[in-house]
Amino acid sequence: MEPKDFDSSDPVAWCPGCGNFGIQGALKTALARLGRDPRDILLVSGIGQAAKSPHYVKAGFFNGLHGRSLPAAAAAKMVNRDLTVIVTTGDGDCYGEGGNHFIHNLRRNVDITVIVHDNQIYGLTKGQASPTSQPGMKTRIQPAGVAAAPFPPLETALTLGCGFVARGYSAEKDHLAELILAGIAHKGFSLIDVFQPCVSFNKLNTYDWFTKRVYKVGADHDAADRAAATRLAEERERLPIGVIYSKEGPSYGELSGTDALEPPARASVEGIDIGPALADFR
Ligand SMILES: Cc1ncc(C[n+]2csc(CCOP(=O)(O)OP(=O)(O)O)c2C)c(N)n1
Ligand code: SF4
Ligand SMILES: [Mg+2]
Protein backbone atom coordinates (compact mmCIF):
# COMPACT_ATOMS: atom_id res chain seq x y z
CA MET A 1 0.00 0.00 0.00
CA GLU A 2 0.99 3.62 -0.51
CA PRO A 3 0.49 6.62 1.83
CA LYS A 4 -1.81 8.10 -0.84
CA ASP A 5 -4.19 5.15 -0.32
CA PHE A 6 -5.09 6.92 2.93
CA ASP A 7 -5.73 10.35 1.37
CA SER A 8 -9.16 11.81 2.11
CA SER A 9 -10.97 14.37 0.00
CA ASP A 10 -11.54 16.82 2.89
CA PRO A 11 -9.84 20.20 2.37
CA VAL A 12 -7.09 20.67 4.98
CA ALA A 13 -7.63 23.65 7.31
CA TRP A 14 -4.16 23.92 8.84
CA CYS A 15 -1.79 26.89 8.42
CA PRO A 16 0.95 26.46 5.79
CA GLY A 17 4.09 25.20 7.54
CA CYS A 18 2.23 23.71 10.53
CA GLY A 19 3.96 20.73 12.16
CA ASN A 20 0.71 18.80 11.86
CA PHE A 21 1.52 18.13 8.19
CA GLY A 22 4.64 16.18 9.18
CA ILE A 23 2.67 14.06 11.65
CA GLN A 24 -0.04 13.48 9.04
CA GLY A 25 2.55 12.31 6.50
CA ALA A 26 4.17 10.01 9.07
CA LEU A 27 0.80 8.56 10.04
CA LYS A 28 -0.12 7.77 6.41
CA THR A 29 3.32 6.23 5.82
CA ALA A 30 2.92 4.09 8.94
CA LEU A 31 -0.57 2.96 7.88
CA ALA A 32 0.68 2.08 4.39
CA ARG A 33 3.51 0.02 5.91
CA LEU A 34 1.04 -1.63 8.29
CA GLY A 35 -0.92 -2.72 5.21
CA ARG A 36 -4.35 -3.04 6.81
CA ASP A 37 -7.57 -2.16 5.04
CA PRO A 38 -8.63 1.42 5.95
CA ARG A 39 -11.88 -0.10 7.29
CA ASP A 40 -9.87 -1.98 9.95
CA ILE A 41 -8.38 1.24 11.28
CA LEU A 42 -10.21 3.55 13.66
CA LEU A 43 -8.88 7.05 14.31
CA VAL A 44 -10.33 8.73 17.37
CA SER A 45 -9.99 12.38 18.32
CA GLY A 46 -11.47 15.15 20.45
CA ILE A 47 -11.36 18.85 19.60
CA GLY A 48 -8.46 21.03 18.43
CA GLN A 49 -6.14 21.41 15.44
CA ALA A 50 -4.59 18.01 16.16
CA ALA A 51 -8.05 16.51 16.52
CA LYS A 52 -8.85 17.42 12.89
CA SER A 53 -6.34 14.77 11.76
CA PRO A 54 -8.88 11.95 11.25
CA HIS A 55 -10.79 14.16 8.79
CA TYR A 56 -7.76 14.09 6.51
CA VAL A 57 -7.16 10.33 6.49
CA LYS A 58 -9.22 7.72 4.66
CA ALA A 59 -10.06 5.36 7.55
CA GLY A 60 -12.82 4.93 10.09
CA PHE A 61 -13.05 7.76 12.58
CA PHE A 62 -14.85 8.97 15.67
CA ASN A 63 -14.62 12.65 16.51
CA GLY A 64 -15.85 13.35 20.03
CA LEU A 65 -15.73 16.00 22.71
CA HIS A 66 -12.72 18.03 23.79
CA GLY A 67 -10.55 15.86 26.05
CA ARG A 68 -12.74 12.79 25.69
CA SER A 69 -11.07 10.78 22.95
CA LEU A 70 -9.46 8.17 25.22
CA PRO A 71 -12.60 6.62 26.74
CA ALA A 72 -14.19 6.40 23.28
CA ALA A 73 -11.05 4.79 21.84
CA ALA A 74 -10.73 2.33 24.73
CA ALA A 75 -14.40 1.35 24.42
CA ALA A 76 -14.12 0.83 20.66
CA LYS A 77 -11.11 -1.46 21.14
CA MET A 78 -12.86 -3.43 23.87
CA VAL A 79 -15.93 -4.15 21.75
CA ASN A 80 -13.98 -4.81 18.55
CA ARG A 81 -10.41 -5.88 19.24
CA ASP A 82 -9.79 -6.53 15.51
CA LEU A 83 -9.59 -2.77 14.97
CA THR A 84 -6.29 -0.90 15.03
CA VAL A 85 -7.28 2.02 17.24
CA ILE A 86 -5.22 5.22 17.07
CA VAL A 87 -5.94 8.44 18.96
CA THR A 88 -4.80 11.75 17.47
CA THR A 89 -4.94 14.38 20.17
CA GLY A 90 -3.39 17.67 21.26
CA ASP A 91 -1.42 18.63 24.37
CA GLY A 92 -4.44 20.56 25.67
CA ASP A 93 -6.92 17.87 24.65
CA CYS A 94 -4.93 14.99 26.18
CA TYR A 95 -3.00 16.45 29.12
CA GLY A 96 -5.34 19.33 30.11
CA GLU A 97 -9.06 18.88 29.46
CA GLY A 98 -8.56 15.12 29.10
CA GLY A 99 -5.92 14.75 31.83
CA ASN A 100 -8.12 12.56 34.02
CA HIS A 101 -8.73 10.17 31.13
CA PHE A 102 -5.02 10.16 30.31
CA ILE A 103 -4.12 9.06 33.84
CA HIS A 104 -6.76 6.36 34.12
CA ASN A 105 -6.27 4.96 30.64
CA LEU A 106 -2.54 4.66 31.26
CA ARG A 107 -3.27 2.46 34.23
CA ARG A 108 -5.92 0.40 32.37
CA ASN A 109 -3.54 -0.49 29.55
CA VAL A 110 -6.11 -0.95 26.77
CA ASP A 111 -4.35 -1.80 23.49
CA ILE A 112 -4.52 1.60 21.76
CA THR A 113 -1.90 3.96 20.28
CA VAL A 114 -2.03 7.61 21.32
CA ILE A 115 -0.29 10.24 19.20
CA VAL A 116 -0.12 13.61 20.97
CA HIS A 117 0.54 16.58 18.68
CA ASP A 118 2.45 18.50 21.35
CA ASN A 119 2.75 22.09 20.10
CA GLN A 120 2.91 23.47 23.66
CA ILE A 121 -0.03 25.80 22.96
CA TYR A 122 -3.76 25.82 22.34
CA GLY A 123 -3.68 26.26 18.57
CA LEU A 124 -7.35 26.08 17.62
CA THR A 125 -8.40 28.73 20.13
CA LYS A 126 -5.60 31.04 18.97
CA GLY A 127 -2.70 30.76 21.31
CA GLN A 128 -3.39 30.35 25.02
CA ALA A 129 -0.89 28.44 27.19
CA SER A 130 -1.36 24.66 27.36
CA PRO A 131 -0.20 22.23 30.07
CA THR A 132 3.14 21.76 28.26
CA SER A 133 3.85 25.46 27.59
CA GLN A 134 7.22 26.59 28.81
CA PRO A 135 7.43 28.85 31.87
CA GLY A 136 8.01 32.43 30.84
CA MET A 137 6.30 32.11 27.45
CA LYS A 138 4.10 35.16 26.86
CA THR A 139 0.68 34.80 25.27
CA ARG A 140 -2.24 37.17 24.93
CA ILE A 141 -3.79 35.84 28.13
CA GLN A 142 -0.49 35.18 29.92
CA PRO A 143 1.06 38.63 29.21
CA ALA A 144 3.53 38.30 32.09
CA GLY A 145 4.55 34.85 30.90
CA VAL A 146 3.47 31.34 31.91
CA ALA A 147 4.08 30.90 35.63
CA ALA A 148 3.26 27.22 36.25
CA ALA A 149 5.67 24.31 35.77
CA PRO A 150 4.91 22.28 32.63
CA PHE A 151 3.18 18.90 32.73
CA PRO A 152 5.75 16.14 32.01
CA PRO A 153 4.01 13.56 29.75
CA LEU A 154 6.85 11.07 29.47
CA GLU A 155 7.63 11.00 33.18
CA THR A 156 3.91 10.75 34.03
CA ALA A 157 3.45 7.83 31.65
CA LEU A 158 6.51 6.04 33.05
CA THR A 159 5.38 6.61 36.63
CA LEU A 160 1.94 5.17 35.87
CA GLY A 161 3.41 2.02 34.36
CA CYS A 162 2.88 2.75 30.66
CA GLY A 163 4.52 -0.05 28.65
CA PHE A 164 5.38 2.03 25.55
CA VAL A 165 6.63 5.58 25.88
CA ALA A 166 8.08 7.35 22.86
CA ARG A 167 8.75 10.84 21.59
CA GLY A 168 8.90 12.02 18.00
CA TYR A 169 9.41 15.24 16.08
CA SER A 170 7.14 16.23 13.20
CA ALA A 171 10.12 17.26 11.05
CA GLU A 172 11.57 13.72 11.37
CA LYS A 173 8.80 12.04 9.38
CA ASP A 174 10.32 8.65 8.64
CA HIS A 175 11.57 8.29 12.21
CA LEU A 176 8.08 9.18 13.44
CA ALA A 177 6.42 6.68 11.07
CA GLU A 178 8.56 3.92 12.60
CA LEU A 179 7.62 5.07 16.12
CA ILE A 180 3.93 4.89 15.17
CA LEU A 181 4.38 1.36 13.79
CA ALA A 182 6.22 0.30 16.96
CA GLY A 183 3.41 1.81 19.05
CA ILE A 184 0.78 -0.11 17.06
CA ALA A 185 2.79 -3.34 17.38
CA HIS A 186 3.02 -2.90 21.16
CA LYS A 187 0.15 -4.73 22.90
CA GLY A 188 -1.15 -2.19 25.41
CA PHE A 189 -1.40 1.58 25.79
CA SER A 190 1.29 3.25 23.66
CA LEU A 191 2.09 6.93 24.11
CA ILE A 192 3.88 8.86 21.38
CA ASP A 193 4.36 12.50 22.32
CA VAL A 194 5.33 14.45 19.19
CA PHE A 195 7.01 17.86 19.10
CA GLN A 196 4.91 19.82 16.60
CA PRO A 197 5.76 23.45 15.88
CA CYS A 198 2.72 25.75 15.74
CA VAL A 199 4.02 28.40 13.35
CA SER A 200 1.15 30.82 14.00
CA PHE A 201 0.97 31.03 17.79
CA ASN A 202 4.04 29.47 19.40
CA LYS A 203 6.91 31.79 18.53
CA LEU A 204 9.19 30.22 21.15
CA ASN A 205 9.26 26.51 20.25
CA THR A 206 9.99 26.92 16.54
CA TYR A 207 11.50 24.47 14.03
CA ASP A 208 14.84 26.18 14.65
CA TRP A 209 14.42 25.83 18.45
CA PHE A 210 13.69 22.10 18.17
CA THR A 211 16.34 21.38 15.56
CA LYS A 212 18.99 22.79 17.92
CA ARG A 213 17.86 20.55 20.79
CA VAL A 214 16.38 17.33 19.41
CA TYR A 215 18.58 14.25 19.05
CA LYS A 216 17.80 10.59 18.27
CA VAL A 217 18.12 8.05 21.06
CA GLY A 218 21.16 5.89 20.33
CA ALA A 219 21.20 2.14 19.71
CA ASP A 220 22.97 1.76 23.08
CA HIS A 221 19.78 2.79 24.95
CA ASP A 222 18.11 -0.23 26.57
CA ALA A 223 14.41 0.64 26.20
CA ALA A 224 13.45 -2.09 28.71
CA ASP A 225 15.51 -0.33 31.41
CA ARG A 226 13.09 1.90 33.30
CA ALA A 227 15.81 3.84 35.13
CA ALA A 228 17.58 4.62 31.84
CA ALA A 229 14.22 5.62 30.31
CA THR A 230 13.50 7.96 33.22
CA ARG A 231 16.89 9.63 32.81
CA LEU A 232 16.11 10.29 29.14
CA ALA A 233 12.60 11.58 29.92
CA GLU A 234 14.03 14.01 32.48
CA GLU A 235 16.43 15.67 30.01
CA ARG A 236 15.61 19.33 29.44
CA GLU A 237 18.59 20.87 27.62
CA ARG A 238 18.82 18.34 24.81
CA LEU A 239 15.60 16.54 23.87
CA PRO A 240 15.75 12.83 23.01
CA ILE A 241 13.38 11.39 20.39
CA GLY A 242 12.80 7.68 19.85
CA VAL A 243 11.51 4.77 21.92
CA ILE A 244 12.19 5.85 25.49
CA TYR A 245 10.65 2.79 27.16
CA SER A 246 9.14 -0.45 25.89
CA LYS A 247 8.13 -3.46 27.93
CA GLU A 248 4.97 -5.51 27.48
CA GLY A 249 2.69 -6.33 30.39
CA PRO A 250 -0.84 -7.70 30.53
CA SER A 251 -3.35 -5.57 28.63
CA TYR A 252 -6.81 -4.70 29.92
CA GLY A 253 -8.38 -7.31 27.63
CA GLU A 254 -6.22 -10.04 29.20
CA LEU A 255 -6.63 -8.81 32.77
CA SER A 256 -10.41 -8.42 32.55
CA GLY A 257 -10.94 -11.64 30.62
CA THR A 258 -12.70 -9.85 27.74
CA ASP A 259 -10.07 -11.07 25.24
CA ALA A 260 -11.30 -14.61 25.87
CA LEU A 261 -14.90 -13.70 24.92
CA GLU A 262 -16.45 -13.13 21.53
CA PRO A 263 -16.11 -9.41 20.80
CA PRO A 264 -19.53 -7.73 21.26
CA ALA A 265 -19.14 -6.11 17.82
CA ARG A 266 -19.30 -9.58 16.24
CA ALA A 267 -22.14 -10.94 18.39
CA SER A 268 -25.50 -11.55 16.75
CA VAL A 269 -28.25 -9.15 17.74
CA GLU A 270 -30.99 -11.35 16.28
CA GLY A 271 -33.58 -12.48 18.78
CA ILE A 272 -32.60 -9.87 21.37
CA ASP A 273 -35.69 -8.15 22.76
CA ILE A 274 -34.77 -4.61 23.82
CA GLY A 275 -38.41 -3.85 24.71
CA PRO A 276 -37.95 -4.30 28.50
CA ALA A 277 -34.85 -2.09 28.51
CA LEU A 278 -36.65 0.62 26.51
CA ALA A 279 -39.63 0.41 28.89
CA ASP A 280 -37.41 1.86 31.62
CA PHE A 281 -37.27 5.14 29.69
CA ARG A 282 -41.02 5.53 29.22
C1 LIG B 1 -15.10 21.46 27.23
C2 LIG B 1 -14.41 22.40 26.29
N3 LIG B 1 -13.57 23.33 26.81
C4 LIG B 1 -12.94 24.17 25.98
C5 LIG B 1 -13.14 24.11 24.63
C6 LIG B 1 -12.44 25.08 23.72
N7 LIG B 1 -11.28 24.47 23.11
C8 LIG B 1 -11.37 23.88 21.90
S9 LIG B 1 -9.90 23.30 21.34
C10 LIG B 1 -9.13 23.86 22.75
C11 LIG B 1 -7.66 23.70 22.96
C12 LIG B 1 -7.01 22.79 22.00
O13 LIG B 1 -5.64 22.69 22.31
P14 LIG B 1 -4.84 21.41 21.93
O15 LIG B 1 -5.51 20.20 22.44
O16 LIG B 1 -3.44 21.63 22.39
O17 LIG B 1 -4.97 21.32 20.37
P18 LIG B 1 -4.29 22.18 19.21
O19 LIG B 1 -5.37 23.05 18.69
O20 LIG B 1 -3.15 22.94 19.79
O21 LIG B 1 -3.85 21.14 18.25
C22 LIG B 1 -10.00 24.47 23.62
C23 LIG B 1 -9.63 25.06 24.92
C24 LIG B 1 -14.02 23.12 24.13
N25 LIG B 1 -14.23 22.97 22.83
N26 LIG B 1 -14.64 22.29 24.98
S1 SF4 C 1 -2.75 27.47 14.57
FE2 SF4 C 1 -0.83 26.38 14.91
S3 SF4 C 1 -1.41 24.24 15.28
FE4 SF4 C 1 -3.15 25.27 14.30
S5 SF4 C 1 -2.91 24.86 12.11
FE6 SF4 C 1 -1.98 26.86 12.54
S7 SF4 C 1 0.19 26.39 12.91
FE8 SF4 C 1 -0.94 24.47 13.11
MG1 LIG D 1 -1.82 22.13 21.29
- The secondary structure of residue 112, as a DSSP letter, is -
Distance from residue 90's CA to the centre of ligand 3 (Å): 5
Residue 197 in contact with ligand 1 by CB distance below 6 A: no
- The secondary structure of residue 206, as a DSSP letter, is -
Q: Count other C-beta atoms under 10 Å from residue 90's C-beta.
A: 35
What does the pLDDT read at residue 202? 98
- Tell me how far apart the alpha carbons of residues 260 and 175 are, in angstroms, rounded to a whole number: 35
Residue 92 in contact with ligand 1 by CB distance below 6 A: yes
Distance from residue 78's CA to the centre of ligand 3 (Å): 28
What does the pLDDT read at residue 269? 86
What does the pLDDT read at residue 255? 93
What does the pLDDT read at residue 92? 98
What residue numbers bound the domain in which 229 lies?
Answer: 3-279
For residue 91, the domain's CATH number is: 3.40.50.970
What does the pLDDT read at residue 155? 98
Residue 159 and residue 245 in contact, taking contact as beta carbons nearer than 8 Å: no
Distance from residue 55's CA to the centre of ligand 1 (Å): 17
**Residues of the chain above pLDDT 90, percent:** 95
10-residue block means of pLDDT along the chain (282 residues)?
A: 96 97 98 98 98 97 97 96 97 98 96 98 98 97 96 98 98 98 98 98 98 97 98 98 97 92 89 91 86
- Considering every ligand atom shown, identify the ligand nearest to the alpha carbon of residue 22 and give its number: 2
- Considering every ligand atom shown, identify the ligand nearest to the alpha carbon of residue 14 and give its number: 2
- Tell me how far apart the alpha carbons of residues 233 and 217 are, in angstroms, rounded to a whole number: 11
Number of domains in the chain: 1
- The secondary structure of residue 97, as a DSSP letter, is I
Residue 97 in contact with ligand 1 by CB distance below 6 A: yes
> What pTM did the predictor assign?
0.97
What does the pLDDT read at residue 282? 83
